[in-house]
């Protein structure tokens, strides 16, 4: 008998074009084939540092909701706490990387796409938004980076040596497994969710993908 398709699988198939748009963006192609304009990379670096700082309270709120709204809360808390710990490392990494590239983090002003994305994440921290919705958002946010940067490390890629460490940060196997754990939590929640929560979660899935595309665009000179 064939295994039943999970909700995340259904959405990934149904919204394939947008998903590919977010995970195979020209910014990523530029890293992968070595044609990236380093000023675009530096813009991304500074903006992403601000994003990651704003991402922490979002993840904290997911953690709080996991404690209250999950019937496997020990597992969920462990996975989400692992994510928070990774964010702590990520922030230190951004600081180091910025000084390597001569990017002054204290002078970075968030661009429109970044502000809008952070505002959207903040809206998901409201207690009225049930756990299923932000856990789906969390899974997609992390997975877009995992799939994007892993693509830059595949056989045949010509990623410049000085950008390999960046790609390793999200493209590594451990990060992939962590994304799979988030996906399993999201699917488990979706299985028992109401139709209303499922449609809100699907809309959130799409919004995150759109925000991710806008985020990459911003590094290419968009706003």
Ligand X SMILES: Cc1ncc(CN)c(N)n1
Residue nearest to ligand X (CB): 145
Listed in sequence order, the residues at least 6 apart from 31 whose beta carbon sits closer than 8 Å to its beta carbon are: 41, 152, 159, 160, 163, 166, 167
Asked whether residue 48 is marked as a ligand-binding residue, the answer is yes
Q: Which is nearer to ligand X, 97 or 212 (CB)?
A: 212
Q: Which tokens belong to 193?
A: 């969710």
Residues 74-93 as x/- pattern, contact with ligand X by CB under 6 A: --------------------
Q: Does 52 bind ligand X (CB under 6 A)?
A: yes
Quick one: which H or E segment has residue 103? none
Minimum distance between the CB of residue 58 and ligand X, rounded to whole angstroms?
Answer: 10
CB atoms within 10 A of CB 68: 10
Q: Which is nearer to ligand X, 205 or 215 (CB)?
A: 215
212: annotated active-site residue: yes
Q: Does 142 bind ligand X (CB under 6 A)?
A: yes
Residues 94-133 as x/- pattern, contact with ligand X by CB under 6 A: ----------------------------------------
**What is the distance between the alpha carbons of residues 223 and 218, in angstroms, rounded to a whole number?**
5
What is the distance of C-alpha 91 from the center of its chain?
15
Helix, coil or strand: residue 146:
helix
Choose the binding region for ligand X from 26-34, 104-112, 121-129, 142-150 (rule: CB under 6 A): 142-150
Q: Which is nearer to ligand X, 94 or 131 (CB)?
A: 94
Q: Between residue 187 and residue 216, which ones bind ligand X under the rule CB under 6 A?
A: 212, 215
Listed in sequence order, the residues at least 6 apart from 144 whose beta carbon sits closer than 8 Å to its beta carbon are: 22, 23, 208, 209, 212
Asked whether residue 130 is marked as a ligand-binding residue, the answer is no
In 3D, which of 185, 35, 26, 51 has the Cα closest to residue 113? 51
In 3D, which of 93, 100, 113, 101 has the Cα closest to residue 39? 101
Minimum distance between the CB of residue 51 and ligand X, rounded to whole angstroms?
Answer: 5
Among residues 11, 41, 51, 149, the one that binds ligand X under rule CB under 6 A: 51
Q: Does 145 bind ligand X (CB under 6 A)?
A: yes
In 3D, which of 124, 145, 127, 137 has the Cα closest to residue 182? 137
Asked whether residue 90 is marked as a ligand-binding residue, the answer is yes
| Catalytic residue set | 212
Site residues for ligand X per CB under 6 A: 48, 51-52, 141-142, 144-145, 212, 215
């Amino acid at each position: 008998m064939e295994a039943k398709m999970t909700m995340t699988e259904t959405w990934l198939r149904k919204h394939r074009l947008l998903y590919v748009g977010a995970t195979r963006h020209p910014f990523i192609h530029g890293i992968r084939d070595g044609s990236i304009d380093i000023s675009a990379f530096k813009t991304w670096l500074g903006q992403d540092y601000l994003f990651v700082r704003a991402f922490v309270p979002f993840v904290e709120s997911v953690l709080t909701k996991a404690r209250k709204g999950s019937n496997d809360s020990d597992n969920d808390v462990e996975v989400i706490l692992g994510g928070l710990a990774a964010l702590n490392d990520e922030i230190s990494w951004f600081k180091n990387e910025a000084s390597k590239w001569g990017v002054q983090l204290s002078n970075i002003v968030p661009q429109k796409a970044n502000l809008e994305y952070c505002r959207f994440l903040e809206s998901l921290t409201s207690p009225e938004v049930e756990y299923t919705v932000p856990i789906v958002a969390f899974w997609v946010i992390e997975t877009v980076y995992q799939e994007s940067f892993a693509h830059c490390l595949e056989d045949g890629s010509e990623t410049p040596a000085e950008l390999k460490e960046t790609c390793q940060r999200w493209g590594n196997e451990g990060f992939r497994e962590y994304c799979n754990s988030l996906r399993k939590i999201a699917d488990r929640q979706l299985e028992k969710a109401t139709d209303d929560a499922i449609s809100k979660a699907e809309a959130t899935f799409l919004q995150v993908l759109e925000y991710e595309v806008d985020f990459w665009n911003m590094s290419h000179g968009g706003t």
